[in-house]
Chains A and B, each alone.
Chain A
Amino acid sequence: MNNRKPPKDPKGQPPRKPRGPALNAEIQGVIGQQLRRMHDEVLKEGIPDRFAELLKRLDERDQ
């Protein structure tokens, strides 16, 4: 399997930063990026049929 980053990834090797007591902005940025990617993967699945069907049934029941 390909172990390298895809070329479109602009990050490359991270620059060295002096160690600080707080998380640096770079780590926070990467964590935020991963969180959003994880989230987006679920969003890409859209709305599963069961939910659309559930609300449709409720709509029909009311009419």
Chain B
Amino acid sequence: MIAALLIALGQVLVAGAGAPLLVGVVRTLKARLAGRRGPSPWQPYADLRKLLGKEPVVSTTTSWVFRATPYVLVATMLVTTLVVPVLVARPALGFAGNIILLMYLFMLGTFILALAGLDSGSAFGGMGSSRGVAVAALAEPTIIVAVFAVALRAETINLGGIVERLAREPLLAANPAHLLAFVAFFIVMLAETGRLPVDNPATHLELTMIHEAMVLEYSGRYLALVGWASAMRLFVFMTLLANLFVPWGVTSLAEPVPVLLGLLALAGKLAVLAAALAVLETVVAKLRLFRVPELLAGSFALALLSVTAVFLVP
């Protein structure tokens, strides 16, 4: 009981405190690849700290929905950190949820942020909301069919169950169905967390923004919460990719040494994924907005292929 509580606390801390570091690492790597020294990987913490000290300016057009959104976003992300296997295979809320719940929790975040974008009454916010929900809606079929492929093999949609089942067969990581599902999931991650080639998180051109456009009106502590929530979103998605498809190091035991090893393994896997993301964002250009559905349709085709591969390759 105490152990479970400590592990739950640990998961929230690792995800909550580690998320800005992950974002910082990706940013630094991208800068190095561009020939610049770049910001320190700890820069996002300084940014958040500074934002907390600013008095927010809130538009008179907005309503309580605008002010409540950052808190709802953070709450949603914190709950997902307790459902996803971060340190252990079966975290505190693992019994309460599964992959489908996870995806719908992300959709809850998109929903409320899109409403906040519309609430500001500016053209930028509305545009961001419209594009944001379009991308999220078109990514849904891919996620669920990829879940289908993974669940077929593992005979459960419970995240802990899938991790344990896949951990028992380490060779499964090389299975074609598995790899195809991983690629499909990776593309969906790019869409859902607003990274290139779907959306550029560092752009200043409002007409090219999707996620950034929805948060243009936020300032001060609200902006800090929204930034933290999107960092956690990236962290949770990457953890899902890392621990679900490559479950080496994820333990089912509630003892300190295996959990610590799990943390180290996670750090290593996230470092690899962060490097891959930085390289991808450096060499790939942002897609024209109406090419994004084509990309998502391609990922859907990959997910369908992975389902058929489950049947063809035992």
**A-B interaction:** no
